A and B are shown apart, each in its own frame.
Chain A
Amino acid sequence: MMKKMVLRRIAIGFATLVVVSIIVFLMTSVLPGDVAQIILGQSATPETLAALRKELGMDQPGYVRYFQWLGNMATGDLGISKAGGATIESLISGRLGNTMVMSGLVAAISIPISIALGLWAAMHPGALLDRIVTFGTLSLISVPEFFIATILVLILAVELHWLPATTYLTGDETFLEFFKAMAMPLITLVIVVSAQMIRMTRAGILNVMSSPYIEMAILKGVPRRRIILRHAFFNAIGPIVNVIALNLAYLVSGVVVVETIFSYPGLAKLMIDGVQTRDLPLVQACAMIFCGAYVILILMADVASIMSNPRLRNPK
């Protein structure tokens, strides 16, 4: 039963990826201007354009190009950047690593903080800290991230000179230097993603707290701390992991604003550059990576909530 459900989710994940790949391919092929045009510039004659297009395989029908592209992608060949000639793999690998480091660090900091704060707030509903947390997170959710980033730059870099305003990594800095360089985007992102996760954890727990089995636990003389951690938390895991997964997926793909503000060399920024230079293979590859990250994370969240359901874990 559970195995079947998990396999079903994986199948749906694959199907989603295929659908997205079609959409990505179609979208990029309807964008005006192509790589041949860009490489040859304004002076290109129609003949040279046609020749280059033929050389790049762009005269083939759409579906052939789609399957070629998909096949290459599946075998790990992301193609050659059409603006510059480097392999896309080499362009992406460094950037992907940076993005992974950033998201990994943000996740490692924000998930424990969010769950702890969410639980704490749920344990003392209406207390001062709970009100601070609910009010604070609500305000942070409603403020756009570039605003938070800008405020942080103004305070920490411009006024106090504690941290650099941009993130420039050479690869051979000491740990402290590395930390200082990463600090600003890190803090911004932790604030942005934590706010939502804290609220979700708190709401998830409080929702369960109105169940009859919680009243029963109270009438059994179970302390509130144990009621929350043992009785409520396991029943609230489903919605909590889902909001965590969505936030992590956002960290991989949606951080372009933050990356731009701090000039952090991440994947999202690379994709924007790709769009500006009409480097379609690069854009396609980035889009597919983002989509893959979403699908995998949501899949993991789904599997986690299936696993946390005792009815599915232990069939009759």
Chain B
Amino acid sequence: MQKEKLVEVKDLKINAKNDDGDVIPIVKGVSFDIHKGEVVALIGESGSGKTTISLASLAYTKPGLYFAGGELLVDGEDMLKAEPLRTREIRGSKVAYLAQSAAATFNPAITIGEQVTESAVLHGLLSQNEADKRAVELYHALELPDPERIGFRYPHQVSGGQLQRLMAAMALCGKPDLMVLDEPTTALDVTTQIEVLKAFKKVIHEENSAAIYVTHDLAVVAQIADYIVVLYGGEVMEQGNADEIINNPGHVYTQRLMAAVRPKPQAGLGSSVGVEHEREIPAIRITDMTAGYGGIVNGEPKIPILRDVNVSVKNGHVVGVIGESGCGKSTLARVMAGLLPQARGTVELDAVELDGDLRNRKLEELQKIQFVFQMADTALNPKQVIGDIIGRPLEFYHGLKGKQKHAKVVEILEMVELPADFASRYPMELSGGQKQRVNMARSLAANPEVMLCDEVTSALDSIVGANVIKLLTALRDKTGVSFVFISHDLSTVASFADEIVVLYAGRVVEQGPTDEVLTPPYHPYTRLLISSVPELRLGWLEDTMQKREMSVGIAKDVEITSVGCPFFNRCPIGIEGACEKQNPPVRDLSSGHQITCHRTIEELEAVEFEVQKALASQNADEALV
């Protein structure tokens, strides 16, 4: 049966006008249809025009853009020609929007319930009473905790994953015909992403709503979309049903996108360990580190973040630090850099103990440890040209001036694969990936021994991110600099790091060489992280949710405990009476691989055996069918 058409996009054109009055085409004649009850994914890198197109269905353009031609019909009505009053009626009632960051899109000063129901009530679709009831139903459907009362809370009182689902409730409250979801899971941890994806899929199905799903992540698209439109530079490269595109991509660009999908984290993906730069002593080492915020009382921080952490980074090695947000990854880097003095434990650089406070460190020590921040946008001074940004550490640490300095700047730009004439440009003129390169170039300019990279690829598209990783590997091989690479993305870490440290609630639960950590036996938390990485395969989400570790480990809050194993409340193999009462022992496996767990290595191996057996029988069943 051919479903009824809800949206028709015909030769849509959207232009931008810059300050000089030049017209820049952003969307160059895009056409596709959306049928009722269908999820259409717009996929492409940043700059492909996917968000711009999706916003056009709400009769909205970002400031500086304007509709230049074509039609965008929703239920036969052209959104491009809607009067201002009419656009207000359409938004929130006919078409609803879900943004990337729920934390930023919820008003901090208004209760969640009022924001969820606001649009439906304002448009006269429901009375406040009816809207409140519908909201509670939606909270139930989205599997939010305490659905009767969560509406009385303020946005800061719920977790990020919950807020993301609450935004879905906000969009659905007025029963819109079409939902626009703009990268709604991109900023989330993998474990949270699964939880949110599952809730979205269920509620879209139940409400029989059509949706535009904007993302750059093909693996996510494979889980949720019926139809896929591949965009590049404001043009459609290819479009078709989801299984066609995923299983049989026709266009070269789609194939490139598929190649950039992060592979399932597993052993053997990483580059070979660079032995040529190795030395006896570690470049940087922290021992028995306890650190946190809010001042130190009796050697204990008031709000402890890291507890008894031991990490050692060899010269020329890359140590990946992974874990969900809030687990203490950034705190670890801040302690190493001396930005946050520790409560207990030591930081050593080349086997020499450093002061916990960077103000008491020597210039030479500061020069050897460099920090690369996540957001290049905020880390680079917008009023300085690139040459000055990179020149500053050259002058400060190495006393270079004038011609010498400029020559070095050019050399460093070359190292991060940027042209020399970028030295006279401002950060604003650069793309996201280029800015991130400048951000790293600035740290490189100091000629450091250790670079602390805090989520440096998280804000980048997969293709751009992969290039940055390539660059980091090349830099490591060339200069022998060590990296502490912090990321919540296990696949990226797996493809790049020599060693992995898995942090959970401020403690190291597993660490060791990448290939060892990514082969069984796993710590139960590592296993949860690995299973949560989406695969580029239709039906993966449903399969994964059936696993026992998912039902136990997903959609639960992290409990920060001072005694016992913090992962206990999410662990499928926890031992009641032991795990929550005693700190787990550190179990040594081969070649520096350590797992901190109450279960013995044999028991963990047995779990893997069971999993493999279950998988084999499932495959056998499928083969029979």
- Residues 212 to 253 of chain A near chain B (Cβ within 8 Å): 212-213, 215-223, 226, 230-231, 234-235
Decide yes or no whether B108 CB sits under 8 A from chain A: yes
Contact of A216 (CB < 8 Å), options: B97, B154, B156: B97
Which of A66-74, A131-139, A307-315 is the contact stretch? A307-315
- Residues 412 to 460 of chain B near chain A (Cβ within 8 Å): none
Query: Is the CB–CB distance between A234 and B109 below 8 Å?
Result: yes
Query: Is the CB–CB distance between A213 and B105 below 8 Å?
Result: yes
Query: Is the CB–CB distance between B122 and A235 below 8 Å?
Result: no
Number of A-B pairs whose CB atoms are under 8 Å? 74
Which B residue's beta carbon lies closest to that of A314? B154
Decide yes or no whether A211 CB sits under 8 A from chain B: yes
Majority DSSP secondary structure for residues of A touching B: helix
Decide yes or no whether A316 CB sits under 8 A from chain B: yes
- Residues 257 to 316 of chain A near chain B (Cβ within 8 Å): 308, 310-311, 314, 316
> A219-B91, A311-B108 in contact; A226/B122 too (CB < 8 A)?
yes
Q: How many positions in chain B have a CB within 8 Å of any CB in the partner chain?
A: 30
CB proximity of A240 to chain B, nearest CB, Å: 13
Decide yes or no whether B205 CB sits under 8 A from chain A: no
- Residues 33 to 58 of chain B near chain A (Cβ within 8 Å): 55, 58
Query: Is the CB–CB distance between A220 and B156 below 8 Å?
Result: no
CB-CB under 8 A from B99, the residues of chain A are 212, 215-216
Decide yes or no whether B476 CB sits under 8 A from chain A: no
Query: Is the CB–CB distance between B92 and A220 below 8 Å?
Result: yes
Query: Is the CB–CB distance between A219 and B108 below 8 Å?
Result: no
Decide yes or no whether B139 CB sits under 8 A from chain A: no
Decide yes or no whether B287 CB sits under 8 A from chain A: no
Query: Is the CB–CB distance between B91 and A235 below 8 Å?
Result: no
Decide yes or no whether B148 CB sits under 8 A from chain A: no
CB proximity of B193 to chain A, nearest CB, Å: 20
Decide yes or no whether B620 CB sits under 8 A from chain A: no
Query: Is the CB–CB distance between A219 and B90 below 8 Å?
Result: no
Decide yes or no whether B89 CB sits under 8 A from chain A: yes
Which of A220, A223, A235 has the most CB atoms of chain B within a 10 A radius of its CB? A220
CB-CB under 8 A from B60, the residues of chain A are 218-219
Query: Is the CB–CB distance between B118 and A220 below 8 Å?
Result: yes
Query: Is the CB–CB distance between A217 and B107 below 8 Å?
Result: yes
CB proximity of B559 to chain A, nearest CB, Å: 14
CB-CB under 8 A from A222, the residues of chain B are 88, 92, 118-119, 122
CB-CB under 8 A from A213, the residues of chain B are 104-108
Query: Is the CB–CB distance between A310 and B154 below 8 Å?
Result: yes
Decide yes or no whether B586 CB sits under 8 A from chain A: no
CB-CB under 8 A from B90, the residues of chain A are 221
- Residues 191 to 221 of chain A near chain B (Cβ within 8 Å): 211-213, 215-221
Which of A212, A221, A226, A316 has the most CB atoms of chain B within a 10 A radius of its CB? A221
A-B contacts besides A212-B101, A221-B93, A311-B154, 18 pairs, CB < 8 Å: A212-B99, A213-B107, A216-B99, A216-B107, A217-B107, A220-B118, A220-B170, A221-B87, A221-B88, A222-B88, A222-B118, A222-B122, A223-B88, A226-B122, A234-B109, A235-B107, A310-B156, A311-B108
Subset of 16 A-B contacts with CB under 8 Å? A211-B104, A212-B99, A213-B106, A216-B106, A216-B107, A218-B60, A219-B55, A220-B92, A220-B96, A221-B88, A221-B122, A234-B110, A235-B107, A310-B109, A314-B156, A316-B157
Closest 6 CB pairs of A and B: A221-B91, A221-B92, A212-B104, A234-B109, A220-B119, A220-B92
